[in-house]
Amino acid sequence: MWQIDFKGDFDTATSRCYPLTLLDDHSRFNLALQACANVATSSVQPQLATVFRRYGLPVRINADNGAPWGSPRLASHGLSQLSVWLIRLGIRVSHSAPYHPQTNGKIERFHRSLKTEVLAGRSFTDLAHAQAAFERWRSIYNHERPHDSLGMTTPAERYRLSARCYRESLPPIEYPSGDTVVVVKHNGEANFKGCRLKVSNSLLKLPIAFRADPEHDGMFDVFFCHHRFMRLDFNALTASN
């Protein structure tokens, strides 16, 4: 599992900087520390692709409930444009409990060290200046400084590359033959058994699957690829309509 987040934001002399951080949960190895100009998917996705090419794919990435990760509490069910891409790559996406940053406690601890040792009392001319400072500190953090929680070894000594390779082209979306497959239409809506359901705008023109629960009549789990994002009580739904 990897943990991902932004370490807040700060001004440089020319622009705003949003430090993107990515940490391996087991070894605390820092996989990315990038000075981004914003928190948009268009900034984050290329950085993640670079990390995936170098280190492989994780089994799961855990994020908080902010942009661009998405939030299961919203109508989109946590399926942002970025999370849809990650799911299609075969990565399991999870979210921290709302208002509980300790769920991603290791990356929060990493952020405290980053703030104290790199950001506090410093000013930067631009994103490139900040990135140069990030790279120097990241090398020390990963390869030189021992950690109490790792038995006084370094993250690099504990970290191992993933055996799961990054695929430049997304694999086809396939579902078991017993599922009812529906393509998401305009406004992120899907029609199932005569009912119009709001799923996610990020799933536009993509197929989702309704899978009947064999033990509960009228209950369906809704999947995008391997990711279950909704449980539907069709009996209650039809009664309300």
Exposed (0-12), middle (13-18) or buried (19+): which is 140, by Cβ within 10 Å? exposed
Is residue 16, in this structure, part of any structural domain at all?
yes
Is residue 136, in this structure, part of any structural domain at all?
yes
- Neighbouring-strand partners of residue 11: 16
Task: Report residue 150 as tokens.
Answer: 């790792």
> Do 156 and 29 form a contact (C-beta atoms < 8 A)?
yes
- Neighbouring-strand partners of residue 23: 3, 30
142 and 212 both lie in a single domain: no
pLDDT tens digits along 110-159: 999 999 999 999 999 999 999 999 999 999 999 998 888 888 899 999 99
pLDDT tens digits along 65-118: 888 998 888 878 889 999 999 999 999 999 987 655 556 789 999 999 999 999
143 and 102 both lie in a single domain: yes
110 and 56 both lie in a single domain: yes
Nearest Cα to Cα of residue 210 among 229, 225, 223: 223
Task: Report residue 175 as tokens.
Answer: 């579902």
What does pTM read for this prediction? 0.92
Dihedral over alpha carbons 226, 208, 213, 191 (to 10 degrees): 170
Is residue 151, in this structure, part of any structural domain at all?
yes
How far apart, in whole angstroms, are the C-alpha atoms of residue 185 and residue 188?
6
89 and 120 both lie in a single domain: yes
Nearest Cα to Cα of residue 104 among 186, 169, 7: 7
> Do 199 and 188 form a contact (C-beta atoms < 8 A)?
yes
How far apart, in whole angstroms, are the C-alpha atoms of residue 1 and residue 21?
14
The CATH number of residue 85's host domain is 3.30.420.10
Q: Which domain holds residue 128?
A: 2-158
